Homo-oligomer: A and B are copies of this chain.
Amino acid sequence: MNSLNQQSEKDVVDARLDLDRQRRCGFPEVIFSLGKTPEQVARIISELAQRGDIVLATLASPEHFAATVKQVPDAIYNEEARLIIVKRGEAVTYDPDTDGAGHVIVATGGTADFSIAEEAAITAELHGARVTRLYDIGVAGVHRALEHTDTLQSARVIIAVAGMEGALPILMAGLVKVPVIAVPTSIGYGANFEGVAPLLTMLNSCSGGISVVNINNGFGAAVIATRINAPAWLEE
């Protein structure tokens, strides 16, 4: 039966590295941690960190980080955003004064969506974007959103994160002329159906200018926002 094991673990990890590299398209090295063991994540981060300047692991648990930091001591962990980050040397990063590109707003109506919003905000920052967080804007208190109208209109692109009924991006798209990337979250209960309700709300918006990513996909929203915002280092 030994022949059944001839797919060595090393081959598998190599395959993983190749695969992850394939996915780049102008992006740092990214590992999707879900369904991988702490050891697997640690090993892949370690390998990638030797080849690139920025490595990012999404949906990472504290266990993933504990295994990683043993092998990569300068890895840092943002628990709320569930991100493991390795960032080195000449990595192009956010410079609030000299970067000529626009800025990205990450907005959310309530604190329950904080985790996904941070995943988006930090991912965007890692790609060189200037990010403004507006975490206290909700449809239930519409006056507060209106107070931020000037800020909202100054962005190059808005990431609007919302669970429950998901109306926040609808409200925003009525206030601005820039693209709004809507991120439904699974925060809610009952007929929320783990994010299906806000997903449908966002897809059916009667306001124009909204496109949608998968439920809880803060990372994906940041990738798109970065591609819209087009920082210089993407152009090379």
Contact = CB atoms under 8 A, between A and B. Distances in A.
A197 interface: yes
Contacts of A92: none
By DSSP majority rule, is chain A's interface helix, strand, loop, or mixed?
mixed
B203 A214 contact: yes
Contact of A164 (B125, B206, B221): B206
Interface stretch (A45-53, A63-71, A179-187): A179-187
A128 interface: no
Number of copies: 8
Contacts of A16: 110-111, 136
Given A94-B3, A114-B12, A224 B210 contact: yes
Interface of A: 1, 3-5, 7, 12, 15-16, 18-19, 22-23, 25-27, 30, 32, 34-36, 40, 59, 76, 78, 85, 87, 94, 109-112, 114, 118, 121-122, 125, 133, 135-136, 138-146, 164-167, 170-171, 173-179, 181, 184, 186-217, 220-221, 223-224, 227-228, 234
